[in-house]
């Protein structure tokens, strides 16, 4: 039984959400009307998962989240509006420690909830199994101690493997827990990192531009949303546009990234598997580095395994750092990972493989 706390200032929304989870079964449910009540119930009800609205009276969702992650860290799924402001608030929530988010579509509440109910239940169930990352703000000043602790309990030491390939392509597949993980890894790539980076992060269309802009501020490399055909250039990180799939093609003799309508044969979008297949078609696998990060499901595991089998190199994020150890676990299980590393060591391996 999953103990679930539903936090929303709308009585109708609370009732609708309660009905969804009650019908799904396996949930013990409590409710809160605002952030203050959420913080209090996190102490008394002690939920396994919290669904948390952002805009609420008395105490907003972000303030409540920061207090929750300090007092009693718990898996939190944000309920966000489909707007640019909602996207920015959601990324801030993920940075504070939220596991995932669900986007409220427009229209009447009953119709909106009906559109997202299956996804919402799946995300909450996954969140109940998620590894909760520490609040970066709350642990400021303790980061070195935490780093040392991780070093002591690491299952295996990091092995930096090197090669002499000087040009190629990095592709990254990621889902639940991805934004904060990417914000940890990508800023560590230096200005002279020689290989372009393509990122397929499962995310709705309204969010990827804001996410790319946020990463662009944090990274030395240029970060862009691949919303139109673009030549693939070194020194650039391409974020797949949400609500579409991203593939690699050759145009006028140049390697190009293309957004395409969602392919119905794939369950998740932007599809990591489709990106990987297109890379295999147009690139030398020996010059490809694939990185599989946190996320539910198995998207991309087959393509990444083939990349490794055909001479490429792949990294699977280890269970010790993955928020949801689904996608990397699938890659490891198929023997498709050249090496398994925690998130904080992945950039160093990419730098080494790229000769930096």
Which residues are designated catalytic?
175, 202, 299
Distance between CA atoms of 26 and 35, rounded to whole angstroms? 25
Range 171-195 burial, b when 16+ CB lie within 10 A, else e: bbbbbbbbbbbbbbbbbbbeeebeb
For residues 338 and 307, the answer to whether their CB atoms sit within 8 Å is no
Phi, psi of 342 (to 5 degrees): -70, 160
The residues with which 62 forms a beta bridge, in sequence order, are none
The per-residue DSSP string of 323-336 comes to SSBSHHHHHHHTT-
For residues 313 and 352, the answer to whether their CB atoms sit within 8 Å is no
Largest CA distance in the chain: 63
> Which helix (H) or strand (E) element contains residue 234?
none
Q: Which of 347, 350, 341 is nearest to 154 (CA)?
A: 341
Q: Which residues contact 148 (CB under 8 A, 6 or more apart)?
A: none
Indicate the Cα dihedral angle 168, 332, 184, 101, nearest 10°.
120
First CA to last CA distance, the chain: 49
Output the six-digit token pair for 284: 């030398």
Q: Which residues contact 149 (CB under 8 A, 6 or more apart)?
A: none
């Amino acid at each position: 039984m999953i103990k679930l706390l539903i936090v929303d200032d709308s009585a109708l929304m609370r009732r609708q959400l309660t009905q969804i989870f009650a019908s799904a079964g396996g949930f013990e449910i409590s409710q809160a009307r605002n952030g203050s009540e959420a913080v209090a119930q996190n102490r008394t009800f002690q939920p396994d998962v919290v669904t948390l609205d952002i805009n609420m009276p008395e105490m907003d969702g972000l303030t409540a989240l920061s207090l929750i992650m300090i007092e009693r860290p718990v898996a939190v799924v944000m309920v966000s509006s489909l707007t640019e402001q909602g996207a920015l608030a959601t990324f801030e929530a993920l940075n504070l420690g939220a596991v995932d988010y669900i986007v409220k579509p427009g229209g009447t509440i009953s119709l909106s909830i009906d559109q997202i109910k299956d996804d919402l239940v799946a995300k909450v169930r996954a969140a109940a199994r998620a590894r909760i990352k520490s609040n970066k703000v709350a642990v400021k000043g303790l980061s070195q101690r935490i780093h040392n602790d991780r070093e002591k309990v690491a299952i295996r030491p990091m092995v930096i493997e090197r090669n002499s390939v000087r040009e190629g392509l990095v592709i990254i597949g990621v889902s639940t827990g991805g934004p904060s993980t990417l914000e940890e890894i990508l800023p560590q790539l230096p200005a002279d990192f020689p290989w372009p980076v393509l990122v397929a992060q499962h995310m709705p269309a309204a969010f990827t531009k804001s996410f790319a802009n946020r990463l662009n501020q944090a990274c030395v490399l240029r970060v862009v949303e691949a919303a139109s055909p673009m030549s693939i250039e070194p020194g650039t990180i391409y974020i797949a546009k949400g609500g579409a799939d991203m593939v690699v093609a050759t145009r006028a003799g140049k390697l190009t990234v293309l957004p395409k309508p969602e392919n119905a044969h794939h369950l998740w979008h932007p599809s990591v598997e489709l990106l990987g297949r297109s890379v295999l078609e147009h690139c030398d696998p020996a010059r490809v580095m694939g990185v599989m990060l946190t996320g539910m499901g198995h998207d991309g595991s087959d393509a990444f395994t083939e990349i490794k089998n055909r001479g490429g190199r792949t990294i699977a994020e280890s269970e010790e750092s993955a928020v949801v150890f689904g996608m990397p676990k699938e890659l490891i299980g198929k023997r498709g990972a050249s090496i398994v590393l925690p998130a904080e060591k992945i950039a160093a391996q990419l730098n080494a493989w790229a000769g930096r």
